[in-house]
Amino acid sequence: MKPSGRKYINLVREFFIAEMKLEEQGTILGFIWILLYPFLMLLILYMLFSKRLGKGIEHYEIYLLIGILHWEFFSKATSKSLKSLISKRQILLNTYLPKAALILSSILVVFISFLFELIILGGFLIVSGVGFSEKVLFFPFIVLIELLLIIAVSLVLSCLNVYFRDIAHFWNVLLRIGFFLTPIFYPIPKLISEGKKGIYLLNPMTQIIIFTRDILLFKREPSFMHMFLFFSFVLVIFTTSCLIFKKLKTNVLEKM
Amino acid sequence: MISLINVSKKFIIPENKRGTLLKSIISNIVGQSAHKTIWALDKVTLDIKRGETVGLIGQNGSGKSTLLRIVQKIYEPTSGSLKVQGDVASVLHLDTVFFPDLSLRDNIFLFGTIMGMDRKGISKNLSRIMDFAELNEFFYAAVRTLSSGMKQRLAFSVILHACKDILLFDEIFAERDQRFKQKCFGIIEGLKKEGKTILFTSHDLNIIKRFCDRVFLLQNGRIVASGDADEIIQRYADLLLRTDSDKSEV
């Protein structure tokens, strides 16, 4: 039975609660592990690069942290939700469950830890003296665009992963490459050709990170045109992915 | 009310081992058609009215589970149409719906929501669900500590308390505990009186005879007979005999 709106939300919430409980079960430090990783990354990358690639960037630690947190969110959320259908094979074959609800609840789990990390980022901003400006009000909009992007990727990947079990490996490799092709620990090189610059700019995560740095670190208001174009770009990706998902999901259970 | 008109369901089974992207691409290039088509259901037409209890019988592989999955909308028909009016609460194999590492309490909330209940409704019914399943001392225990029979009791209990109009089961009476079985029989009688629509499969023909207003006999994805329980059970018995004698001739 396809559930109504209220029931759909209930399902996403309940799966979210179940997955949260499963994540922190049996671990000693529990939730802390989830937060620890990006800050360890921050420490390592800062020590490695602050004197070289990071030279000349004011508050490099915050510059870095913004890149790390966004990338972490994207890569963890997509990697986790990729498996959300195949891991629930048994229950999907025995009772009706809306597949998107399962994918959304996986993403939500990672989103919650992202929110906690943002709070800590806020702490860094205060401690480093950067503080906040009213431009920070643009930030939720950037997060929304990021969520749309993550949902778009997850919807398609989770279905493909049922058809081809090695999608998970492919994605893992792509993410590793992506980490280096996204200006997380370095700025986009100034003296590169337009073509190479295009590679950076086509990567939506680059834009998200640049926007966030503008808003939070440099306290610059992003250009309306620029944001609007980017939002439209991600919206197109999102709409396309929903159409692909609609097609793929009809037969995905037969392949399980 | 459940209505199927000319519903067919096709499965494509790979003939050799694939499943990775690389092998798939290679076999496509080489032009190998490594597929076999199986029609699990072949132009099935049936109508179940509200308040009816219907049994599906047939040998293993005749398409019973596929039919139930189509009605639940787990699978979509390859062709034909399906119409279901009313809320469905069902689980094919009752011991598969729980998260083994979560407690019974957490699982009841999750499964109850899957069955269409809201948090408030589940909280209200929590003690009744546990009482019916006779699992009170396991409330905070992980579901993996339960036996298969206990899990089935719990799932059945939640489904009952979800109070939906249409119930579908696949071999729920495989549960061997006689006492609980009798309890369930009493419940099923009660559900019938309430006007619930029930569709189930069973290899236990006594149960089919006891509860079903109508029975459908499936063979090779087709409905070969339908009617009242005694008649169809006899047809089934004849069919099995014929199949056996065919086999012994070979």
pLDDT at A85: 94
Residue B154 has pLDDT above 80, yes or no: yes
Which position has the higher pLDDT, B3 or A145? A145
pLDDT at position A98, please?
A: 93
Query: Who among A21, A22, A253 is closest to B74 (CB)?
Result: A253
Mean pLDDT value of segment B13-39: 71
Q: What is the pLDDT of residue B56?
A: 93
Does B59 score more than 80 pLDDT?
yes
**CB < 8 Å to A254, chain B:** 11-12, 75
Read off the pLDDT of each residue in B79-100 and give the average, rounded to a whole number: 89
Low-confidence ranges of chain A (pLDDT < 70): 1-2, 26-31
Chain A residue with minimal CA distance to B70? A96
* Beta carbons of B20 and A166 less than 8 Å apart: yes
Residues A159-178: pLDDT tens digits? Answer: 999 988 889 999 999 999 99
Q: What is the residue whose two structure tokens read 């209930």?
A: A10
Residue spans of alpha helices (H) in B84-177 = 104-114, 119-133, 148-162
> So what's the pLDDT on residue A17?
93
Q: What is the pTM of this model?
A: 0.89
* B181-205 per-position pLDDT tens digit: 888 888 889 999 999 999 989 888 8
Per-residue pLDDT at B33:
62
Transcribe B73-97 into DSSP letters: TSS--SEEEEEE-S-EEEESSGGGS
Find chain B residues with C-beta within 8 A of A166's C-beta.
20-22
**Is the model's pLDDT at B17 over the cut of 80?**
no
Q: Return the bridge partners of B197, or none.
A: B166
Chain B residues with CB under 8 Å of A21 CB are 102, 106
In terms of DSSP bridges, do strands B197-201 and B214-219 run parallel, antiparallel, or are they unpaired? Answer: unpaired
User: Do B71 and A1 meet the contact criterion of CB atoms below 8 Å apart?
Assistant: no
Of the candidates B154, B170, B161, B167, which has an alpha carbon nearest to the alpha carbon of residue B87? B167
Least CB-CB distance to B73: which of A2, A14, A26?
A2
pLDDT at B248: 66
Distance CA A79, CA A72 (A): 10
Can you state the angle between helices A31-49 and A99-127, rounded to 10 degrees?
A: 50
- Which range has the worst mean pLDDT, A12-21, A52-61, B162-171, B206-215? A52-61
pLDDT for the residue numbered B102: 93
pLDDT score of B144 more than 60 = yes
Considering only the beta carbons, identify the residue of B73, B97, B109 that sits closest to A94. Answer: B97
Residue labelled with tokens 């998260």: B99
ipTM of the complex: 0.86
How many residues are there in chain A? 256
Cβ separation B97–A91 shorter than 8 A? yes
